[in-house]
Amino acid sequence: MFILGLQGSPRKGGNTDILLATFLEKAAAAGAAVQTIQVARAGITPCKGCGYCESHGTCVIADDPMAKQIFGLLRQADMVVAASPIYFYGASAQLKVLIDRCQTLWSRKYAFKLKDPLVATREGILLSVAASRGRQLFDGLQLTAKYFFDAIDARFSQALTYRGIEGKGAIRDQAGVAGDIDAIIEKSVRPLVARKGILFVSRQGACRAPLAAAMAQQRYGDRIRATFGALQPAATLSAPMRQMMQNLGVDLGYWQPAPLDDAMHGLRPDLVVTIGAAATEPPIAGVETVNWPIPAAPDADDAAEALRLTMATHVDGLIHWIEAPISRK
Ligand SMILES: Cc1cc2nc3c(=O)[nH]c(=O)nc-3n(C[C@H](O)[C@H](O)[C@H](O)COP(=O)(O)O)c2cc1C
């Protein structure tokens, strides 16, 4: 399970930073892989409001960290934790810049009618602090979070908000924070960590492995976490395969071929499926490995559809492994 934290305060080592780091430390101890984006220092370009994404499905700003890294991480995340101090009854401007750029994901979902393969299980958590104690203090941020999480195909499941937190580090003296976080870890993180992990491997990770991962994730929902890796990663996904899935309403837009080490964010899968003559030896030592002898498909539309049908039969066959008990040491 992979959790992406968005640290929205410009104050390094401040209350939001501490709160998010505490959450992610506890999540990591429960078995999650975690990563934090320090949003204020990420160099994200603000949305231009040009409307390009609503007609093209991609952002016209293609050369900043949002385009090159963060859209992809949002698509890989099983949980997104958005953390912000209250600034004038809303999100910090720094976090809002990231949120506004997600208009691209909103467009893919609502204008292009595409669904992310992880839509059924991705969760959104909000963390916030504020100095005063007003009754409506977090209402503005809650609304922004609601629509942000909806755009990134995450279910807004829980929020932890703390009033009367002002000086740098004051959150450390707030009673109950550790217990509040522990409750979210038990309710939301542990069930996602407990799913069986499957890593699909093909030579270039451009067509067969991502197709298998997307189909398995959709087919088995919250029972598994499927991902894919490559022995020699190609630069991009196969265009006919991506288009075929898009025609079926499945969004692989920000998926990229990745080396095996990156594919699971450092976690060990429970099963590795090598596809084609990918390797003579299991690519990850000590992990159960099976081979699906499916040859690479030519880069053509009809070949992509034939591959999908073959893959569906193999993905169906995974049910026996999914239903068998596993023991993790
Ligand atoms: C620009 C700015 C605007 C703020 N607006 C509010 C506000 O509207 N209501 C409030 O209670 N606190 C407000 N605060 C206080 C912060 O929310 C509070 O100090 C918080 O603990 C800072 O978190 P941090 O250490 O993570 O930056 C504001 C602080 C700043 C710098």
Of 64, 46, 55, the closest CA to residue 108 belongs to 55
Q: What CATH number is attached to the domain comprising 233?
A: 3.40.50.2300
Q: What is the mean pLDDT of residues 209-232?
A: 95
* Alpha carbon distances (Å) from 138 to 8, 107, 144, 174, 313: 15, 27, 10, 17, 49
Q: pLDDT tens for residues 149-166?
A: 999 999 999 999 999 999
In the chain, how many domains are there? 2
Cβ–ligand 1 contact at 95 (below 6 Å): no
Cβ–ligand 1 contact at 168 (below 6 Å): yes
Ligand 1 mean position, distance from CA 42 (Å): 21
Amino acid occupying residue 224 = I
Q: Which of 142, 175, 193 is the last residue of a domain?
A: 193
- Nearest-atom number in ligand 1 for the CA of 89 is 8
Cβ–ligand 1 contact at 89 (below 6 Å): yes
Query: In the prediction, which pLDDT does 266 show?
Result: 83
Domain that holds residue 26: 2-193
Q: pLDDT tens for residues 46-77?
A: 999 999 999 999 999 999 999 999 999 999 99
Residues 179, 200, single domain; the answer is no
Q: pLDDT tens for residues 107-139?
A: 999 999 999 999 999 999 999 999 999 999 999
Q: Which of 193, 211, 231 is the last residue of a domain?
A: 193
Query: Which tokens belong to 84?
Result: 């912000």
Residues 146, 203, single domain; the answer is no
Which residue's alpha carbon is at the smallest distance from atom 7 of ligand 1? 88
DSSP 46: P
pLDDT beyond 70 at 329: no
Residues 139, 248, single domain; the answer is no
Residue 251 and residue 242: Cα distance in Å, rounded? Answer: 8
Residue 329 falls within a domain, yes or no?
no
Residue 291 falls within a domain, yes or no?
yes
- Nearest-atom number in ligand 1 for the CA of 170 is 21
Query: Which tokens belong to 53?
Result: 């994404």
Could you give the angle at which helices 301-317 and 208-220 cross, rounded to 10 degrees? Answer: 50
Q: 3-class DSSP state for residue 161?
A: strand
Residues 237, 158, single domain; the answer is no
Cβ–ligand 1 contact at 173 (below 6 Å): no
Residues 106, 239, single domain; the answer is no
